[in-house]
Amino acid sequence: MSPRVLAALGGALAVGVAIAIVITHRNKQTALPPPPTTTSSATTTPSPTTTAPPPPTTTQPAPTPPPAAVPMSWDNAGAIVWHSSDVDPTWLGQTLRAANFGWVAVYLPPDPNWMYRFRLASGLPIGGWSVLGDHPGYEAGLAARLVRKYGLAFYIADAEQPYADVPSRSSTFVRVFRRDQPSLPAGLSSLCIANALDLTAWAGGRFAFLPQAYVNDFGSGVDPVNCANPAQAIFGRANVHPTVASYAGTFGRVAPARFVQLLARAGTTGFSVYPAEVAMSSEDWQAYGEAIASLHIATEVR
């Protein structure tokens, strides 16, 4: 998300160093690759002295996560994870549930064992997210297949500069994705003011909008209220759910207490934090949780 769960800003969940997060967020690492090409290669016959490879070993498949106890809703608060290996799923699951959060999105493809442990600890729905590049039809089909393969509850598309450069990519992605996943809850993560994108295509495809309100990186011009006001004409305010940042950007780190004030001023319901694995303590998550209960910046999860 983008930052919610990368070389230059272009594309929300090494992460852990603040400067690296700023650099990597600006491009959200490499976008999904283009469709693989098929090539033929010559077959070589091993010499008589070649040692035969050992027989393949079989590994136990990851257990299937139990059904989520909490239904997916964009009105709930969520956490976007980029590198799931950097955060313990049991700790995160228990912490999010205790803080009134309602969902988590992991970068595709996900780790089934991580998902299993998170679900056991939290009962929360798990979705996936990916960065979009230059091949919208392929990217949409791949996202739809991965959602189906891993039994994910929702999907977030991070569409930034490549989709601003070629606005028709938005309608192509939405058409292919909705052909394969007609009813799945889906969201668009993009820059706070994403006028260069064909936002009507996303809204028409029943995507919620998750604008990146990264005041830590770009200043007050992209605070939640400035993200929500222009977008409501296209998505409707009920379908706008800002993403706030955990990492230290150009202007340093913005504490949850400050983001809480900005979210309350925006008057939106539901938000997300990116990336969930960076600079977030139990106390930070709880600060958001208390604001969910008292300021109603998201719906409480029971």
Q: Who has greater pLDDT, 28 or 190?
A: 190
pLDDT digits (tens, 9 = 90+) for 214-267: 999 999 999 999 999 999 999 999 999 999 999 999 999 999 999 999 999 999
The radius of gyration of the chain from alpha carbons, rounded to an integer in Å, stands at 20
The three state secondary structure string of 50-78 is CCCCCCCCCCCCCCCCCCCCCCCCCCCEE
pLDDT of res. 149: 97
Q: Who has greater pLDDT, 9 or 288?
A: 288
pLDDT of res. 271: 98
pLDDT of res. 65: 77
Chain centroid offset of residue 31 CA = 13
Res 8 pLDDT > 70: no
The three state secondary structure string of the chain is CCCCCCCCCCCCCCCCCHHHHHHHHCCCCCCCCCCCCCCCCCCCCCCCCCCCCCCCCCCCCCCCCCCCCCCCCCCCEEEEECCHHHCCHHHHHHHHHHCCEEEEEEECCCCHHHHHHHHHHHCCCEEEEEECCCCHHHHHHHHHHHHHHHCCCCEEEECCHHHHHCCHHHHHHHHHHHHHCCCCCEEEEEECCCCCCCHHHHHHCCEEEEEECCHHHHCHHHCHHHHHHHHHHHHCHHHECCEEECCCECCECCCHHHHHHHHHHHCCCCCEEECCCCCCCHHHHHHHHHHHHHHCCCCCCC
pLDDT digits (tens, 9 = 90+) for 16-43: 333 333 333 444 433 333 333 333 333 3
* 257, two tokens: 């207490």
Split at pLDDT 50, 70, 90, the class of 61 is: confident
Split at pLDDT 50, 70, 90, the class of 64 is: confident
Polymer length of the chain:
302
Q: Who has greater pLDDT, 15 or 96?
A: 96
Architecture of 18-31+65-295 per CATH? Alpha-Beta Barrel (3.20)
* 230, two tokens: 């222009």
pLDDT of res. 80: 98
Res 123 pLDDT > 60: yes
- Name which of 51-55, 56-60, 118-122 the model is least confident about: 51-55
> How much is the mean pLDDT over the chain?
85
- C-alpha distances (whole Å) from 166 to each of 163, 179, 207 are 5, 21, 19
Query: The whole model's pTM is what?
Result: 0.81
Res 278 pLDDT > 80: yes
Split at pLDDT 50, 70, 90, the class of 140 is: very high
pLDDT of res. 1: 55
Pairing of strands 101-107, 77-81: parallel
Percent of the chain with pLDDT strictly greater than 70? 80
